[in-house]
Amino acid sequence: MFKLKCDDFLVYDELTGTYSMAADQKVRDEAEKNSWKSTGFTVLKDWRLYAMLIPMILVYFLWKYMPMYELTACFKDPSTGDTLHVNTFSWAGLRYFQVLFTDSDLSPDFWLAFRNTFITAFYGLLFGFPMPIILALFFNEVRSNLVRSVLQVCVYLPKFLSTVIVTSLTLILFRGTAGGLQGEGVVASVFKAFGADKNLVSSGLVFTTQYYRAIYIITDLWEHAGYDSIVFFAAVIAVSPTSYEAAQIDGAGKMAQMRYVVIPSILSTVVIMLIMKIGGLLSVGYEKIYLLLGNGTNSTSNYDVAQVISTLSNQWSETRASDGRALGTAAEMLNNLIGMILVLGANAVAKKASNVSLY
């Protein structure tokens, strides 16, 4: 028993019949004895390594962690101090959360934005997740490398355009005939040909509650689906050709090959990407939504379906001088806390399901 337990660091000398300590273990024991001394020594000796960390730590502290300190503004009355220094405000407790939840004027807006955040995120996941996988499976069918490269160059391209350009194109292609124009945008006329309401088309489809979400999802797919297929394509081409051959010999049709060969081999990638997506669910692209929002006074505004927590908070902080900052901060804090719970939950599930932790 003793031998079994110890022979990883004891060496048995057959000549003398004695055990002696392995050299490695001696060194390790020595190091442990001096660990406190040597710790200080290593840090000093390695000071350059720690110096290298400083710029990054500083940047993250100043512009990622200091805003978190600004979060205390949601418990404070913004009309009481110097606007630049949140520590000069007097405490107001949970007053602004109460307003968000119960105020007859503001809480409907809050709940609407809250709901829209979830709905936008959910639709984004529902349509945005399968599409790249399908594209990746299809890309695998293209045998010619040249043809595939050309197609891939085309479908990745929208990802590299800025949000301003994507939304400008969206607004123009879906534009209505408002302002004395005689014809609507090209894509809007396609929608009209497929039976979209004429009045809605003429007022600009992006600004209608009926079509805004569809347009948001379509443009999102246009922007991201091609690029997001890269990860899945890498997983698909990693499937060994012999697996296909084996399946073919067994008489498997294309669907059966998909079902029994391809899907199982890319499943782990799919699961991980899905979990990642769920983790980032609530960080919906506020820049795009901000740029697609109507002006509010317009009778055909899309506020009811487009407004999300971040755009609403931004709007409050700009328009409500007395309490907008506290209300906006409170709303965003709730949103981002839920987001964090989703990330950590998703990560825990990933760890359990596949022994792969994302962070």
Q: Would you count residue 110 as binding other proteins (CB under 8 A)?
A: no
Of 276-295, binders to other proteins (CB under 8 A) are 283, 286-287, 290-291, 294-295
Residues 173-192 that bind other proteins (CB under 8 A): 173, 175, 178-179, 181-186, 188-189
Which residues, 41 to 80, sit near other proteins by CB under 8 A?
42-43, 46, 48-50, 52-53, 55-57, 59-60, 62-68, 70-71, 73
Query: What are the distances in angstroms from CA 352 to CA 342, 348, 349, 356, 357?
Result: 15, 6, 5, 8, 9
Dihedral angle sign, alpha carbons of residues 118, 123, 128, 134: positive
Judged by beta carbon, residue 124 or residue 328, the one nearer other proteins is 328
Tokens of 201: 């088309």
* Contact between 353 and other proteins per CB under 8 A: no
User: Quick one: which segment of 96-104, 119-127, 259-267, 309-317 binds other proteins (CB under 8 A)?
Assistant: 309-317
Q: Which residues contact 213 (CB under 8 A, 6 or more apart)?
A: 119, 120, 123, 305
Least distance from other proteins to the Cβ atom of residue 132, Å: 11
Residues 73-92 that bind other proteins (CB under 8 A): 73, 83-86
Binding other proteins (rule: CB under 8 A), the pick from 75, 92, 204, 281 is: 204
Beta carbon nearer to other proteins, 121 or 231: 231
**Residue 10 vs 338, nearer CB to other proteins:** 338
Distance from C-alpha of 163 to C-alpha of 216, rounded to nearest angstrom: 12
Closest distance between other proteins and the C-beta of residue 359, in Å? 5
Closer to other proteins by Cβ: residue 124 or 270: 270
Q: Where are the alpha helices (H) located in the chain, listed in sequence order?
A: 2-6, 23-33, 35-45, 47-60, 66-70, 95-102, 107-128, 130-139, 145-156, 163-173, 186-193, 198-202, 212-237, 241-249, 254-257, 263-279, 286-292, 303-306, 309-319, 324-354
In the complex, what is the shortest distance from the CB of residue 285 to other proteins, in angstroms, rounded to a whole number? 10
335 touches other proteins by CB under 8 A: yes
Measuring CA to CA, which residue among 328, 339, 340 is closest to residue 97?
A: 328
Residues 125-164 that bind other proteins (CB under 8 A): 134-135, 137-139, 141-142, 150-158, 160-164
Quote the CA–CA distance of 127 and 141 in Å, as a whole number: 22
By beta-carbon proximity to other proteins, the closer residue of 24 and 245 is 245
The interface with other proteins within residues 227-246 (CB under 8 A) comprises 227, 230-231, 234
Question: What is the total count of residues that contact other proteins (CB under 8 A)?
Answer: 114
Mapping DSSP onto H, E and C, the string for 196-250 reads: CCHHHHHCCHHHCCCCHHHHHHHHHHHHHHHHHHHHHHHHHHCCCHHHHHHHHHC
CB of 105 to other proteins, least distance (A): 19
* CA end-to-end distance (rounded Å), the chain: 41
Positions in 256-275 near other proteins (CB under 8 A) = 269, 272-273
Shortest Å, Cβ 69 to other proteins: 8
Residues 288 and 166 sit within 8 Å (Cβ to Cβ): yes
What is the helix (H) or strand (E) element at residue 12, kind and residue range? strand 10-13
- When asked if residue 37 is in the footprint of other proteins (CB under 8 A), the reply is no
What is the smallest separation between the CB atom of 122 and other proteins, expressed in angstroms? 20
**Residue entry with tokens 């084996």:** 246
359 in contact with other proteins (CB under 8 A): yes
Q: Is 254 in the site for other proteins (CB under 8 A)?
A: yes
Q: Which is nearer to other proteins, 301 or 307 (by Cβ)? A: 301
Instruction: List the structure tokens of 118.
Output: 């979830």
